[in-house]
Structure 1
Amino acid sequence: MRRKGDLPRKICAVCGRPFAWRRKWARDWEAVRTCSKRCRDQRRRSASQPK
């Protein structure tokens, strides 16, 4: 069994916090950019707002 400290980590593109690999992301770990649904929604909202 692996320990959480041994798993790959990334930095969230929205909040800047580090997050670890999760089994549900196994297929598309390279495409994962945000740590949570909240950050993903916030990223979508900021991209859709006109400047």
Structure 2
Amino acid sequence: MKKGELPVKLCACCGLPFTWRKKWVRCWDEVRYCSERCRRARRSAAQT
């Protein structure tokens, strides 16, 4: 599979597009954030 053919999602925190990674092969449906930084920022913003 070529890199241009990989699935793309939008990050729930920053709204930037990110592509599928091999480490997400089993959990791609649950992935919502492009990075740990966005995941942490979303969680802390919801608490305040």
- Map residues 1-51 of structure 1 onto 2, 5 A cutoff: 2-49=1-48
TM-score scaled by length of structure 1: 0.88
Which aligned segments of 4 or more residues in structure 1 are displaced greater than 4 angstroms? none
For structure 1, which runs of at least 5 residues remain unmatched after alignment?
Answer: none
Q: Secondary structure at the match of 1:19?
A: strand
**Aligned-residue identity in percent:** 56
Q: CA RMSD, aligned part only?
A: 0.6
How many residues were matched structurally?
A: 48
Q: What is the CA distance between 1:48 and its match in structure 2?
A: 1.3
TM-score when scaled to structure 2? 0.93
